A and B are shown apart, each in its own frame.
Chain A
Amino acid sequence: MLSTDQRGNILVVQVEEKRIDASKAPIFKDEMTRCIEGGQNQIVLDLSRVDFIDSSGLGALVSCLKRLGPRGSLAVAGATGAVSRLFTLTRMDRVFALHPNVEAAVEQLSA
């Protein structure tokens, strides 16, 4: 469900599913964990194609952040509508750096 694009030391991960819900969260977490265990620790997650995330999906994102640890970064790009609203509602917008698009997120992580 993910496609990746390496840009220098930053891995841009695009979610290709429209929904990250309880049925998809375990696959999402497995694929992300594989990236992280492969040595990636600067990750931009592109959610521009995603129109719905539930608390299971959000929990999977938090789990990835914990796996990255304090020296890693997980930035979120392209969250809109219900997805952006969920981050605000759960106060997870204080946990994940939210960017309007991939370019802005990559720029921020490269700085």
Chain B
Amino acid sequence: MAASISLSIDSDLDKVSLVARAVRSLCTDVLGADELDAVELSLVEAINNVIKHGYHGESGKDVQVSVALQPGQVVIEIIDHAPPMPAQVLEKDSEDPFAFDETDLANIPEGGMGLALIHMNMDEVEYHSGEAENRLRMVKRVSPSPT
């Protein structure tokens, strides 16, 4: 089985849950419950980043999501036309936001967690910036069922 679909929303935070719920439904035949949670969270974080940082919260811009259901995996691409993410933001090895000291209340993070969550939840994450668009490609593979 291989099938793909494109969805698009206006760059409005109120619309993100619509596309998240749609993509979750699309993936139910391929993925298990934990994997669906992982995909939904990663998708929401990625779109929030595009709207908040790429488009600076401005509505009326385009956010496209393409979903490809392939044997054993789901490939999701988020396409936007905002200025590209700065390279240093993408450094996977940059600080782990969750390595905080829980006894130090002031330094528990309130933000900056989105990209780290995407990397933790997806099997592959790639970002491409072209002349016309940015494309974040994320792959979630079906984990072998426990025997």
Contact = CB atoms under 8 A, between A and B. Distances in A.
Interface of A: 19, 21-23, 52, 54-56, 58-60, 62-63, 65-66, 69-70, 81-82, 85-86, 89-92, 94-95
Interface of B: 13-14, 16-17, 20, 33-34, 37, 40-41, 44-45, 48, 51-52, 98, 100, 102, 105-106, 108-111, 113-114, 117, 120-121
The majority secondary structure among interface residues of chain B is: helix
Chain A interface main SS type? helix
A11 to B, nearest CB: 20
Contact of A22 (B34, B48, B106, B109): B48
Residue among A52, A63, A81 with max Cβ neighbours from chain B (10 Å): A52
B90 to A, nearest CB: 17
Nearest to A66: B105
B16 A94 contact: no
A58 B113 CA distance: 10
B102 A95 contact: yes
A65 B105 contact: yes
15 contacts: A21-B13, A23-B16, A52-B20, A52-B40, A52-B44, A54-B114, A55-B114, A59-B111, A66-B106, A66-B108, A69-B105, A82-B37, A89-B117, A94-B102, A95-B108
